[in-house]
Structure 1
Amino acid sequence: MSIRLKLGVTLAAMALASAAMAQTPNAKPSRIRGDIVSLDGNTLKVHRRSGDTVSIDLGANTPVAAVKSMQLSDIKPGSFVGTAATTGTDGKLTATEVVVFPESARGTGEGHYAWDLGPNSTMTNANVDTVVQGTDGRNLKLSYKGGSNEVTVPPNVPIVTFTPAARTDLVPGKQVFVVAAKAAQGAYTAQRVVVEKNGVVPPM
């Protein structure tokens, strides 16, 4: 495989994986977080944080990706990021994680909407306009179609970007983040999977 083709495959995989952070106002996918119990053929079993175990069907073309760690200093003006955050009593947003999208995935899930990482959790997928050092971390001023906001990123918050992975990485004990559609009899059909790799757990 030529270097150019390899690069194309890698960028395509990263772009597909980055859609794990996408949501449109009318779309309400199920987001499954937990530990892999088994992968038997096309059936992935995951023990969710809520305590139950669910079966997830993987299609032949279901994208599988991983994440790798980045530094807060890697976020620059012009970066396109997705950040889950909590809203304080003062209305200010504090990040709980940040994903830096590859340039090929710029615009994925752009906007600000509710998220399910805890009470008062939101997701903002947006362009970074400015990065300012604050007393509690770095403040990111973000803009997206239809609005803007500011998010404080504390020093201990996980910051990651997507990296390719394969089904061979879906082994018992690894943590996963799965975006899925509900199927019959309590099962799910995966739209995309992000799996722990090299010790880096999907924080979203």
Structure 2
Amino acid sequence: MPIQRSTLTRPLVAVAMVVATSLLAVAQQPPTPTRVRGKIEKVEGDVLSVKSRSGGDVKLHMTADARVVGIIKISLADIKLGSFIGTTTVPGPDGRQNAVEVHVFPEDMRGTGEGSRPYDLRPNSTMTNATVAETVAGNDGQNLLIKYRDGEKKVVVGPDTPVVTYVAADRSDLKPGAKIIAFVKQIADGSFETSRISVGRDGLTPPM
């Protein structure tokens, strides 16, 4: 007796529907954050309770070797030829890359994360860590040519763009009210573990 094609097709269709439904469910899940930005509300031993910038409550478990660095404000004039910087940029209507923030690395951090990649600070933003190869004053700020191993980028730093740098800090700087950005990974109970925290000094919100 010939096998009816519909008999074979129905199970295949059912499997395809299950797979498609599973893929859709995965696609709809929010991405697991790799950074938490917010204000410390409570410190309990190695655990920080943080109110994130989006309004959520986050528990951060610091690893035993967690590194803490401070962030302080500096001026646009502190961006020198040869400085190794990081900058978050977004494309302007004219196609130029406008700096949302610039952080100048101290010499012992030169080369950190060199390159350019998508970033999560703003929609369509990019983080580029590179060396300042050229700096020219313009009508709307400072025009920088920055170069990294695989390329270069022209960046416009406006007069109101936050410019910061890193300074030494330790766990004593992690106190209620301090503003932080922490690099995290999610652990089994749904909270987050961090091994690197940047904390703003004197009430500063890390702009990156």
Selected match of 2:196 from 180, 186, 192: 192
**How far does residue 121 in structure 1 lie from its aligned partner after superposition?**
0.7
State the Cα deviation string for residues 71-129 of structure 1 (Å, max 9, x = none).
11111111000000111233210001101001111111011111111111110100000
Q: How many residues align?
A: 177
**How far does residue 53 in structure 1 lie from its aligned partner after superposition?**
0.6
Q: What TM-score, normalized to structure 2?
A: 0.82
Counterpart of 2:65?
61
State the Cα deviation string for residues 20-63 of structure 1 (Å, max 9, x = none).
xxxxxxxx971100111111011111111111111111112101
Name the CA distance, whole Å, in 2 between partners of 1:136 and 1:89: 14
Counterpart of 1:156?
160
Q: What TM-score, normalized to structure 1?
A: 0.83
The DSSP-based 3-state class of the residue aligned with 1:59 is strand
Name the CA distance, whole Å, in 1 between partners of 2:140 and 2:66: 39
Instruction: Show structure 2 runs of 5+ residues with no match.
Output: 1-31
Name the CA distance, whole Å, in 1 between partners of 2:53 and 2:206: 14
Selected match of 2:146 from 138, 142, 149: 142
Matches within 5 A, 1:11-160: 30-160=34-164
The DSSP-based 3-state class of the residue aligned with 1:63 is strand
Q: Considering Cα pairs closer than 8 Å and 6+ residues apart, tell me whether 1 or 2 has the greater RCO.
A: 1
Identical columns (%): 44
Instruction: Show structure 1 runs of 5+ residues with no match.
Output: 1-27
Report the aligned-residue RMSD. 1.3
